[in-house]
Amino acid sequence: MSKNTEAQENLYDRTIDITSETCPMTFVRTRLALDRMAPGEILLVVMRGEEPRANIPRTASEQGHTVLSQEDQPDGTTRLRLRKAPG
């Protein structure tokens, strides 16, 4: 990974940790965080498990948000970056 890409991966306006949550609370917490943000801001979601890993990016995209990156971490978590949809 280039330094520029690494720097971009660390850019976000807000972060939430939903590693201890289960469905459907994983997306409820993600949606509440997005609702509190301005259009274009970036949310970093730290999550654990296959269900949120598959469902949160899909549902966020269906609601018009942009998935910027999704990376599995060595500790078993996944870091998902979402850009809030415009207006």
Residues forming the active site:
23
- Please tell me the predicted confidence (pLDDT) of residue 8: 58
pLDDT tens-digit map of 14-33 = 999 999 999 899 999 999 99
The DSSP element (H or E) to which 9 belongs, if any, is helix 3-9
pLDDT tens-digit map of 31-87 = 999 999 999 999 999 999 999 999 999 999 999 999 999 999 999 999 999 999 997
- Please tell me the predicted confidence (pLDDT) of residue 3: 39
- Please tell me the predicted confidence (pLDDT) of residue 4: 39
